[in-house]
Amino acid sequence: MCLGEGPLQKFQISVLTLLLMWFGLATAAQDRTVALSNAGDKVLLGEHMQILEDPEGDWTLDQVRDQFASRFRASESSALNFGFTRSTFWLRIAVDTSGVEGSWFLVERHPILDELTLYAPDDQGNYIAQAVGDTRGFGQRPMNHRAFVFALDTDEPGVKEYYLKVRGKGALNMMPVLFSAKGLVEFTYLEQLMQGLFYGSLGIMLVYNLLLYLSLRDNVQLHFVMFLGGVIFFNINVSGFGLQYLWPETPGINEYFWLSTYVIALALALYSRQFLQLAQRFPRYDRLLKHYLIMIGGAFLLQWLMEPPWTYHLSTAVALLTIVLFSWLGWMVWRQGFRVARLYVLAWSVFLLTIFLFAMGNLGLMPYSVFVPYLPHFGALWVVVMLSLALGDRIRFLETERKQLAHEAQQNLERHLADIEQMNQDKSMFLQYISHELNTPINWIGAADSLGQDARGDQEVDVWAMVRKGQRRLTGIVSTSLRYFDLSDRNQPPPVSNCQPMWVLDAILREQTARIEKSGVAVRNRVSPNFRVNASEGELQEVLSIGLDNALRFSAEGDSVDISSEVDVPGGYAEIRIQDEGKGATAEQLEHILEPFFVMGSRHHEEGFGLSLAMARVMIEQVDGQLWAESPGPGQGFTLHIRLPLSDMQAPRA
């Protein structure tokens, strides 16, 4: 007995160990088993599944169940994201149908899996394969639904083990769910409602903008219709509705969903170029857009030469580049004052975020949740609504701009009419003036001719002096008139520099020293040397000489001429005043004193032509200055004011 107890004890220990291992495995499997009796109407399968990766993609179901069964690993997420891969993945799920009444369905909600096969057990312990996918005809599906729907056998109670085999050229993302019949109906109803609202909105926008184009013939509407068409084609492709309703027996069309990326990119480039008025307002950005179109054209040609998944990577990169570029472009245009771009920026900023998250989810760089597949829908709908509002805002903006341009054109027309009227008045005044001025020399010449040969001695000298004086005056009228008309008609202001009026005036006074002393008038230069102005130094010297000449001519011996300055640094200007104690002027005379050919009284001064102050006004105004005259009244003096913009080098002291 004692000798036999040792082997028997070892055998008992081995059997006990195997039973414990079997119990542990059974317990672990039971933890993963989905019990439908208390599951409600919906069960997310991701966390209940076990995953096996087949790198070569040639394992059979028997190999997976037997040889590689121990390699399955537990899933930890309700949404499965395998990214871009050439591997085949096997999913295992155990379902307990005990105590279940009614039908249950296994639904894969991600509709763009290339190949998906369900292996379901039958009554004989064998497995029946049901192969579907978006590379297979829609008629092969067991149920007419955009998602992949498989009916489960719930007639026989107990635990059944199901296998799913999935592979594809694109991103492998899965959201498997178990639905009761009621749950599937509710899911389908809600999804169809949401999808109907989405595609209905896009369709309404497309028809509306197409009618706008036919009415307005504005190409921006046509480009927006192209953009909407690309968005709709992309979404019906990735959502499975294209295969369900449009090309059910031609699944190969699904492989070319990337074409919509280039249609959208081209339409968006043309739309943005016209909507943001890049050619007219921002030529640098317009050149950038042309380079972008060339690059997109190259990518489009390259796309035909590539094989999946590289085609998907390239189209994703083009989409991300497009959204980033146009988000940045709208932002830059908005920052530079183009108000219409604000809704454009808002549209693409949100769309950029949604597409970025969608791409990150597809590439496996972030968790793939139930919301990821719907991000392009939300982003596209947001963009469509915002860009439609932006088009309306653009129409209002262009209408406002048109009214503003019409108003400015009306103002310019009125101003030109006023200028023409003023020119007519100037012409009449000029003709009257010239008639008067020519009359005097002609009379002198007539007097000289009447004297003829009778003139002798001093009388002959006086006659010829009269003739020469008339000649000089006629020459002066012609040269001064030509100078005034040259100043008035020039299209560009003279070159300006940083001038110090005090030193310009000091040079004039030194040149006029003999004349000032002869006139007996005291001239005081009290202009500050501590400021500079933007002016043409030569013309500033001419204006100051005109002001000094007028002051000396109308001042009596013993009078004084005071030349002073005042600087307004905050206002950005300096003012020079030439004040005399001479004859002064009436209020009516002050209104016309700066007009060409205006002469006060019978003669402001007999050697003048009535153009000096008019020329001074033109020269000052052409450098953004002002010139005006003031006088308390006749006999109370006269002040000429010259205001000029301060130079950028002006120090804050006067």
CA distances 108 to 32, 43, 116, 511, Å, are: 19, 12, 9, 101
Q: What percent of the chain is modeled with pLDDT above 70?
A: 83
Residues 97 and 221 in one domain: no
The DSSP element (H or E) to which 639 belongs, if any, is: strand 638-645
Confidence of residue 466 (pLDDT cuts 50, 70, 90): low
Model pLDDT for residues 74-88, shown as the tens digit of each residue: 988 777 888 788 899
CA distances from 381 to 189, 190, 205, 350, 377 (A): 21, 18, 10, 11, 6
Distances (CA, A) of 273 to 132, 244, 338: 44, 37, 13
Last residue of a domain, one of 408, 439, 463: 408
Q: What letter would DSSP give residue 242?
A: I
**Between 210 and 349, residue with greater pLDDT:** 210
Is the predicted pLDDT of residue 175 greater than 90, yes or no? no
| pLDDT above 90 for 482 | no
Domain match, 281 and 363 both: yes
| Residue 456 belongs to some domain of the structure | no
Q: Is the peptide bond before 493 cis (omega within 30 degrees of 0)?
A: no
- Average pLDDT of 574-593? 88
Task: Tell me: do 182 and 324 sit in the same domain.
Answer: no
Q: How many other β-carbons are positioned within 10 Å of the β-carbon of residue 118?
A: 22
Provide the number of structural domains found in the chain: 3
On whether both 148 and 267 belong to a single domain, the answer is: no
Average pLDDT score, the chain:
82
pLDDT band at 448 (very low <50, low <70, confident <90, very high): low
Residues 6+ apart with CB under 8 A from 299: 262, 314, 318
The CB density around residue 408, as the number of other CB atoms within 10 Å, is 10
Cβ-contact 516, 574 below 8 angstroms: no
| Per-residue pLDDT tens digits for 319-373 | 888 888 888 888 898 888 887 788 888 887 787 788 778 777 766 666 666 677 7
Strand 73-74 versus strand 50-54 pairing type: antiparallel
CATH number at residue 131: 2.60.40.2380
Q: Is there a single domain that holds both residue 177 and residue 207? A: no
Parallel/antiparallel/unpaired status of strands 50-54 and 88-96: antiparallel
Which residues span the domain enclosing 140? Answer: 29-186
| pLDDT computed for residue 67 by the predictor | 92
The answer to whether 368 touches 361, Cβ cutoff 8 Å, is: yes
If asked whether residues 182 and 310 sit together in one domain, one would say: no
Domain stop point among 158, 186, 214:
186
| Beta strand ranges found along 6-158 (DSSP E) | 34-35, 42-44, 50-54, 73-74, 80-84, 88-96, 104-108, 115-121, 127-132, 148-151
Q: What is the DSSP letter of 217?
A: -
Considering 125, 160, 186, which residue would you say is the last residue of a domain? 186
CB 590 within 8 A of CB 629: yes
Per-residue pLDDT at 161: 94
What is the residue whose two structure tokens read 């100078």?
483
Q: Which of 338-342, 467-471, 511-515, 574-578 has the lowest mean pLDDT?
A: 467-471
DSSP 8-state secondary structure symbol assigned to residue 245: I
The span from the CA of 206 to the CA of 392, in Å, is: 15
CATH value at residue 545: 3.30.565.10
Residue 631 has pLDDT above 70, yes or no: yes
pLDDT value, residue 368: 64
b (16+ CB within 10 A) / e for 305-330: eeeebebbebbbebbeebbebbbebb
Give residue 185's identity as a one-letter amino acid code. V
Q: What is the pLDDT of residues 384-442, one digit of tens each?
A: 788 778 777 777 777 777 788 888 888 888 888 887 877 666 666 665 566 555 556 66
* pTM of the predicted protein model: 0.57
User: For position 363, what pLDDT does the model report?
Assistant: 61
